[in-house]
């Protein structure tokens, strides 16, 4: 029987502001905080590693002034090591980089660690878990993309469920304390799927921001809490 770290895992909903209404961004972030959300997922895209361009340091610096949430910054950019210190200075609490975007992932991980924030590494749906397995001792979190990165509102890719399971089994076998985050296509149907597979940090964009934000957060966090509670029995 493998190591069971389920009792010590931190389960969190991580709303992605990529799906927020930027005309009301500050207001919507305040709504999330009132609803008890602890983590805010911030996708930074450069138009090179992924086709889209999102936002960067000025936006993060601006919202940092008004929010006490944990800023979970996901860099979908080529050679992200160039910008680590800049994002830390803007208020990032965690920085996640893609193995596919780094010429020297080990060095980039060390740069993030040296900057004093949490370290995350991400893989695309087509990238095997094996590609980052030897870095697990060096990171705090692995982000498994459950859609191809670059656009919001995509459908969850069913084949990624097995990758979440594989990663959770590997973490337990090695008796590590590493969070598994998932991002892409999360809704009321797929949320239980990723939780059962082993994810404990769940990024959600349109699921949170489309419609009644407070009600959406309540529904998602209730599902997450039920699952977390069942793991403690």
Instruction: Compute mean pLDDT per 10 residues along the chain, 233 residues long, and list them.
Output: 54 96 96 97 93 90 95 97 97 98 97 98 97 97 93 86 98 96 96 97 96 97 93 60
- Tell me, what's the pLDDT at 150? 75
Q: What is the pLDDT of residue 149?
A: 85
- pLDDT score of 3: 38
Q: Is 43 an annotated catalytic residue?
A: yes
Q: What's the CA gap between 40 and 146, in Å, rounded?
A: 18
**pTM, rounded to two decimals:** 0.94
Domains of the chain: 12-231 (3.20.20.70)
What is the model's pLDDT at position 9? 82
Catalytic residue among 4, 5, 43, 86: 43
pLDDT, residue 97, reads 98
Check if 212 is active-site.
no
The pLDDT of residue 95: 98
Query: Contact, 140 vs 132, CB < 8 A?
Result: no
Catalytic residue among 86, 140, 183, 212: 183
CB 90 within 8 A of CB 57: yes
């Amino acid at each position: 029987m493998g190591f069971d770290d389920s009792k010590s895992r931190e389960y969190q909903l991580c709303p992605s502001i990529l799906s927020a209404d930027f005309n009301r961004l500050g207001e919507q972030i305040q709504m999330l905080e009132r609803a008890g959300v602890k983590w805010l997922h911030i996708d930074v895209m450069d138009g090179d590693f992924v086709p889209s361009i999102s936002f960067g340091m000025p936006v993060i610096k601006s919202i940092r002034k008004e929010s006490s949430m944990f800023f979970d910054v996901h860099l979908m950019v080529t050679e992200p090591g160039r910008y680590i210190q800049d994002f830390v200075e803007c208020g990032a609490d965690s920085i996640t980089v893609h193995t596919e975007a780094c010429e020297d992932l080990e060095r980039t991980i060390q740069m993030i660690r040296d900057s004093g924030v949490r370290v995350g590494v991400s893989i695309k749906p087509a990238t095997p878990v094996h590609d980052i397995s030897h870095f697990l001792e060096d990171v705090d979190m692995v982000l498994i993309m459950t859609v191809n990165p670059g656009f919001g509102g995509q459908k969850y890719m069913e084949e990624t469920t097995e990758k979440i399971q594989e990663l959770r089994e590997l973490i337990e076998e090695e008796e590590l304390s590493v969070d598994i985050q998932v991002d892409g296509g999360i809704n009321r149907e797929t949320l239980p799927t990723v939780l059962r597979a082993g994810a404990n940090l769940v990024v959600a964009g349109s699921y949170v921001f489309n419609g009644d934000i407070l009600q959406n957060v309540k529904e998602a966090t209730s599902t997450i809490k039920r699952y977390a509670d069942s793991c403690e029995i």
